[in-house]
């Protein structure tokens, strides 16, 4: 099968031609008449941007993506585009998707999936309903914002934003354009409901009044002023380094370009979103109430107005909580939960089932399924923009305390550190031209 990658010039030439001669994908091309239960008109047409381990896992199936065979195996999804700045990644994804569909639809020459280097060409396609973004950290919010503005629904892997201002812009854009957004903090939906169980037990007072939470991970923040490097090597063939950098200040390629580059972030913005998302869900704070962030050299402590203190360390001697979870300590016991286990002290806490009149939280058993369902119903997702931004902001303000090595006071109602211009300067950064968000 000959490779058909859409270049920018070819794309815009095709777009002009399409005005005169519309390109129609027939129902037979999309599987009508096959054993599939979903008609082509009911499928969600998707593009996948970012095809590293996580992005390819979502597309084709893999660890931490929770969809056997990936989205391409789903009957209710039609993959139309794959995109990556690395040629070898997009070529592999393009080839595999077309092979899978060729076998499923009984069409040996199937070529309905196209490959792109530039994500803007994917966003320009009016036949794509939604995109899944699995990107370098600095690209997550900017690309999500551009996708939302283009009319696409968005599933975005963590961290959803590198700065507080970008997180807020993403929230406002999703609201203004009426788009569906799901953050890739999958623990609310996956792992047999253990995190939801812990949340509901604690919210319903099973450990008494919640007093302390142990997060097991440091927060983190984006600090581009510290980003320096003298390394300079040849850019690998087929790698668009300039587009990978995007809004970041220009720097010669130094041989590294994965999730991020050394010196761009302090602390942890990769693993901590899972921990802090579950904590925010369970603590359920007043989202407009101020938060005091205490720095003590080896730890960060969040003091919420409801009296709960969150520590960015593990509970002494408790092994449960490190795999994406936390340990919650109340006046009458504690619960520790992570991806592998949920335990309570005393053990009797978890032996008593929830009562019919107990409060419940948003219930979803599949993170991807919840996203697709909400695309159809236009209901808010379980990790909607406001939820995602509030969690990410907690991580970022803690990271700013780490960067400044001192306490900070945060007002989420105004999204600023009152009277603290040094800390406020870390809430945003100036993107490199021509990128503007």
Q: Of 143, 168, 188, which one is at a domain's C-terminal end?
A: 188
220 falls in which pLDDT band (50, 70, 90)? very high
Share of the chain above pLDDT 70, in %: 90
* Inside any domain, residue 378: no
206 falls in which pLDDT band (50, 70, 90)? very high
Least confident range of 15-29, 249-263, 340-354: 15-29
The verdict on 139 and 284 lying in the same domain is no
The verdict on 300 and 396 lying in the same domain is yes
The verdict on 280 and 405 lying in the same domain is yes
11 falls in which pLDDT band (50, 70, 90)? very low
pTM reported for the whole predicted model: 0.90
* Residue 127 domain boundaries: 8-188
**CA 308, 313, 314 angle in degrees (round to 5)?**
95
The verdict on 107 and 67 lying in the same domain is yes
* Inside any domain, residue 224: yes
263 falls in which pLDDT band (50, 70, 90)? confident
193: left (phi over 0), alpha (psi -120 to 50) or beta: left
The verdict on 435 and 391 lying in the same domain is yes
* Inside any domain, residue 369: no
What long-range pairs does 107-113 form, CB within 8 A, spacing at least 24? 107/29, 109/1, 110/29, 111/1, 111/4, 112/25, 112/29, 112/30, 112/78, 112/80, 113/79, 113/80, 113/81, 113/82
The verdict on 181 and 198 lying in the same domain is no
* Inside any domain, residue 380: no
The verdict on 23 and 168 lying in the same domain is yes
Examine the pLDDT at 80 and tell me if it is beyond 90. Answer: yes
In tens, the pLDDT along 138-176 reads: 999 999 999 999 999 999 999 999 999 999 999 999 999
Q: Which two tokens stand for residue 104?
A: 């499923």
pLDDT at position 89 is 98
In tens, the pLDDT along 302-354 reads: 999 999 999 999 999 999 999 999 999 999 999 999 999 999 999 999 999 99
CATH number of 141's domain = 3.40.50.720
* Inside any domain, residue 373: no
* Inside any domain, residue 375: no
Q: Of 159, 188, 217, which one is at a domain's C-terminal end?
A: 188
Cα–Cα distances in Å, from 276 out to 157, 192, 392, 394, 411? Answer: 15, 19, 8, 8, 18
Examine the pLDDT at 25 and tell me if it is beyond 90. Answer: no
Rounded CA separation 179/185 (Å): 18
Q: Of 170, 188, 206, which one is at a domain's C-terminal end?
A: 188
Region 46-56: what's the mean pLDDT? Answer: 96
CATH number of 292's domain = 3.30.360
Say how many domains are in the chain.
2
The verdict on 84 and 215 lying in the same domain is no
* Inside any domain, residue 2: no
Angle between helices 164-177 and 140-149 (to 10 degrees): 20
The verdict on 210 and 110 lying in the same domain is no
Strand positions, DSSP E, 215-332: 220-222, 265-267, 291-295, 300-304, 309-311, 326-330
Examine the pLDDT at 202 and tell me if it is beyond 90. Answer: yes
Region 184-212: what's the mean pLDDT? Answer: 97
pLDDT at position 188 is 97
pLDDT at position 228 is 63
The verdict on 18 and 113 lying in the same domain is yes
The verdict on 235 and 175 lying in the same domain is no
Examine the pLDDT at 86 and tell me if it is beyond 80. Answer: yes
The verdict on 169 and 212 lying in the same domain is no
Question: Which stretch of DSSP H or E encloses residue 177?
Answer: helix 164-177
Instruction: Give the three-class secondary structure for 300.
Output: strand
| Alpha-helix runs per DSSP H in 241-322 | 241-245, 272-283
Q: Which two tokens stand for residue 4?
A: 């058909």
* Inside any domain, residue 1: no
């Amino acid at each position: 099968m000959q490779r058909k990658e859409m270049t920018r010039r070819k794309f815009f030439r095709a777009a002009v031609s399409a005005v005169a001669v519309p390109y129609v994908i027939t129902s037979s091309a999309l599987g009508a008449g096959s054993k599939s239960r979903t008609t082509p008109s009911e499928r969600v047409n998707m593009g996948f941007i970012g095809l590293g381990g996580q992005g390819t896992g979502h597309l084709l199936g893999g660890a931490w993506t929770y969809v056997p065979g990936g989205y391409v195996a789903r009957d209710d999804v039609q993959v139309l585009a794959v995109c990556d700045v690395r040629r070898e990644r997009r070529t592999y994804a393009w080839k595999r998707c077309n092979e899978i569909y060729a076998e499923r639809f009984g069409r040996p020459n199937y070529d309905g999936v196209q490959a792109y280097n530039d994500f803007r060409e994917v966003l320009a396609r009016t036949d794509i309903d939604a995109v899944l973004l699995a990107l370098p950290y600095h690209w997550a919010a900017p690309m999500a914002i551009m996708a939302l503005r283009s009319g696409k629904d968005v599933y975005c892997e963590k961290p959803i934003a590198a700065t507080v201002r970008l997180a807020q812009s993403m929230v406002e854009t999703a609201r203004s354009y009426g788009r569906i957004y799901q953050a890739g903090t999958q623990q609310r939906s996956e792992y047999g409901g253990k995190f939801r169980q812990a949340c509901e037990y604690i919210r319903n007072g099973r450990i008494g009044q919640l007093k302390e939470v142990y997060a097991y991970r440091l927060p983190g923040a984006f600090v581009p002023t510290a980003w320096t490097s003298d390394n300079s090597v040849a850019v690998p063939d087929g790698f668009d380094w300039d587009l990978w950098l995007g809004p970041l200040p220009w720097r010669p390629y130094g041989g590294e370009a994965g999730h991020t580059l050394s010196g761009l972030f302090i602390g942890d913005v990769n693993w901590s979103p899972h921990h802090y998302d579950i904590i925010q869900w369970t603590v359920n704070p007043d989202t407009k109430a101020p938060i005091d962030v205490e720095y003590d050299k080896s730890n960060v402590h969040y003091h919420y107005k409801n009296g709960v203190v969150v520590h960015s360390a593990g509970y002494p001697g408790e092994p449960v909580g490190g795999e994406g979870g936390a340990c919650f300590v109340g006046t009458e016991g504690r619960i520790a939960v992570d991806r592998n286990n949920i335990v309570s002290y005393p053990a009797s806490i978890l032996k008593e089932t929830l009562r019919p009149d107990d409060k419940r939280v948003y219930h979803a058993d599949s993170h991807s399924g919840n996203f697709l369902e909400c695309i159809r119903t236009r209901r808010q997702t379980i990790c909607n923009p406001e939820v995602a931004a509030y969690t990410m902001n907690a991580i970022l303000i803690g990271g700013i305390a780490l960067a400044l090595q001192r306490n900070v006071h945060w007002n989420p109602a105004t999204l600023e550190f009152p009277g603290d211009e040094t800390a406020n300067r870390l809430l945003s950064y100036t993107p490199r031209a021509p990128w503007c968000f």
